[in-house]
Structure 1
Amino acid sequence: MSVRFFRSFHGRFTSAMFAPRKPRHPALRALLGVVGVLLLAVLLVAGVFVGLAMLAGGLVARLLRRRGKPQAAAGRVVDAEYHVVPKAGEPLLR
């Protein structure tokens, strides 16, 4: 067998084997379109639920980490005075 035979064999069958083809029947084409849209919707909803579960798990983990640490009591708040430092190059308005 020649090398030319293998080259033509490779191009002829592998391109046809992996090429996506639409069905010719209009009803089957419409049915597969609806199945595709439904699959996309299911994946979207599943992704939203997975995201919400990850957020809830992160919040629970954060709450459990803080559980043993003391929090500031109402009587232990530090009161302070402050003043705004002007930006460089702005004139003072006082």
Structure 2
Amino acid sequence: MKNNIEIVNLKCGGCANSIKKGLLNIEGVSEVSVELETSKVTVEVANEEILSEVKKKLSSMGYPEIGDANTVIHKAKSFVSCATGRMSTEE
């Protein structure tokens, strides 16, 4: 089942790269795309339980869903995820 999740703190291709990599490591996620312009993550998941896991993973990486708490810790984690994503695209 395909789902769209609108997130906060998405800034660049480095963020998108980290998100794709992180979510594809979850068993039951078969496809991930990230739209920078709309801050939308589209995922193909096996079921609702996996979707819940995807949302938790996004939040733990610093990209909570719109409407969820966006704390200073989320913002700091997204900065680190962004930097990591940028470094992995330069290799």
Between Structure 1 and Structure 2, the one with more strand by share is 2
Between Structure 1 and Structure 2, the one with more helix by share is 1
Task: Judge same fold: TM > 0.5, yes or no.
Answer: no
The normalised TM-score by structure 1 is 0.24
Higher Rg: 1
The normalised TM-score by structure 2 is 0.25
